[in-house]
Every structure is written in C-alpha cells, then in structure tokens.
C-alpha cells in the first residue's frame, strides 16, 4: 500500500528529475531511490503555519510538492538543529526542516540526505557552513541568498543553488516565507552547521 511517505519520496524524485543543470543531475544520480522506510512519529513545528502560503506562491513545477507539504505536513517528522540560544526565539518559531531521506529521515540513506527547509517571513539565517556539499532548490521566490563574502541576491523558485564544502552561506527572507528543497552529500549528514554570522539584536 502506498503511504504519504511514498508519495513524498516520489514527489521529490519527480521534482528533482525536472532539473537539467549538471550539478543537480550529479546529486540526483547519487540517490538510490530504493531506500528502506524508517518509522518516525509525526512531529509538527510552529513554522508549518507558513507552508500553505509557500504552496500558494510556489513555482509551477514545485506546486504539487508544496501542496502535499501544506496538506499533510503534520504527518511528517520535522526537526530543528538550532535553539533559541543560537539565533533567538523568533528564528526558532519560524524555522524547521524535514529530512525525507538520510541518516535520520523517513527513508534510510547513509550517502546523501534530502529534505525541506522552511523559514517564515523576515527571518535571517546567518552565515554558516558545513563539511557536506549542498544543493538547494527554492520552491518559493523572494528570499535573498548569500554565499561566501558575496552580496545577498534574490533567488527565484527553481533556481539551483550550490554550496561547496565548507563555503559559508546565509539566507534572508522578505515578506514571503521560504520553502526550499536541499540535498547534502560528502560529509557527516546529521552534522550541526558551524555558525559564523549573527542574527543581530532580537533576531
């Protein structure tokens, strides 16, 4: 019997197959889609309140997946790596991720992790870095992204954002929430990022 978890995984697979960029194809080729499921209890977070709006503004190819997360988000096991001590309570109330596959996700994979990040409006995810190489594909437009010492620039839904190992990166949402798909490979897949930036006073 097909479950909502199977539906999520096949949705991710079809979504990723829509990207012809070399780096996206390279990451996708590293995913062995025959992954065993892992039993995880449903775990919601306050940031799920932003997903219906994210689904409403998601780009065309991203909408079915965003809609599934909006409708069934509370069936999944959401997590947070940071605490209020890192970036403040406002960040914690507006941030969360869902690991679809990986070392702790709904499907077991020790080689590559994939999932979704949610940030509410007007949130700064300060500069951070990690050993794993990372691919992000935002499902929503309107968020500013920064890599290394570069300036913030807005990335549209469906843009492929690649962070090499240990390159610092940051995101800053505006009036709309961010829903983004991520892939991690080549490092400890459940590692906490190293923070180099600050959310600033009260953030």
Contact footprint for Fe ion (CB under 5 A): 134
In the bound state with Fe ion, the residue whose beta carbon lies nearer, of 106 and 128, is 128
Residue 193 CB, shortest distance to Fe ion, in Å, is: 6
Least Cα distance to 125 among 104, 149, 95 occurs for 95
Our CA dihedral for 83, 89, 93, 99, rounded to 10 degrees, sits at -20
Q: Which residue is nearest to Fe ion (CB)?
A: 134
In the bound state with Fe ion, the residue whose beta carbon lies nearer, of 81 and 83, is 81
Residue 125 CB, shortest distance to Fe ion, in Å, is: 9
Least Cα distance to 58 among 135, 118, 114 occurs for 118
Residue 156 CB, shortest distance to Fe ion, in Å, is: 19
In the bound state with Fe ion, the residue whose beta carbon lies nearer, of 73 and 126, is 126
Residue 132 CB, shortest distance to Fe ion, in Å, is: 8
Contact between 69 and 55 under an 8 Å Cβ cutoff? The reply is: yes
Q: What is the 3-state secondary structure (H, E, C) of 30-57?
A: CCCCCCCECCCCCECCHHHHHHHHHHHH
Position of tokens 């996206």? 24
Residue 39 CB, shortest distance to Fe ion, in Å, is: 27
In the bound state with Fe ion, the residue whose beta carbon lies nearer, of 127 and 134, is 134
Residue 2 CB, shortest distance to Fe ion, in Å, is: 31
CA–chain centroid gap for 175, Å, is 19
Helices 63-72 and 4-17, packing angle to 10 deg = 160
In the bound state with Fe ion, the residue whose beta carbon lies nearer, of 40 and 195, is 195
Q: How far apart are CA 159 and CA 68, in angstroms?
A: 21
In the bound state with Fe ion, the residue whose beta carbon lies nearer, of 70 and 168, is 168
54-to-18, 50, 51, 120, 143 alpha-carbon distances in Å: 20, 6, 5, 9, 12
């Amino acid at each position: 019997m097909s479950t909502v978890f199977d539906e999520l995984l096949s949705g991710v697979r079809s979504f990723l197959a829509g990207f012809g960029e070399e780096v996206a194809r390279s990451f996708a080729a590293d995913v062995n889609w025959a992954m065993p499921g892992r039993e995880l209890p449903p775990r919601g977070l306050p940031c799920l309140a932003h997903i219906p709006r994210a689904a409403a503004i998601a780009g065309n190819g991203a909408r079915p997946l965003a809609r599934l997360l909006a409708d069934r988000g509370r069936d999944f096991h959401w997590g947070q790596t940071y605490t209020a001590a890192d970036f403040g309570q406002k960040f914690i109330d507006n941030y969360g991720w869902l690991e679809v596959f990986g070392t702790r996700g709904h499907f077991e994979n020790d080689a590559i992790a994939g999932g979704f990040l949610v940030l509410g409006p007007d949130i700064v995810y300060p500069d951070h870095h990690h050993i794993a190489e990372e691919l992000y594909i935002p499902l929503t437009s309107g968020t500013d992204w920064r890599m290394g010492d570069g300036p913030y620039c807005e990335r549209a839904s469906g843009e492929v954002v690649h962070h090499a190992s240990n390159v610092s990166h940051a995101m800053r949402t505006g009036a709309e929430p961010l829903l983004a798909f991520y892939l991690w490979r080549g490092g400890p897949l459940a590692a906490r990022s190293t923070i180099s930036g600050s959310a600033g006073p009260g953030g």
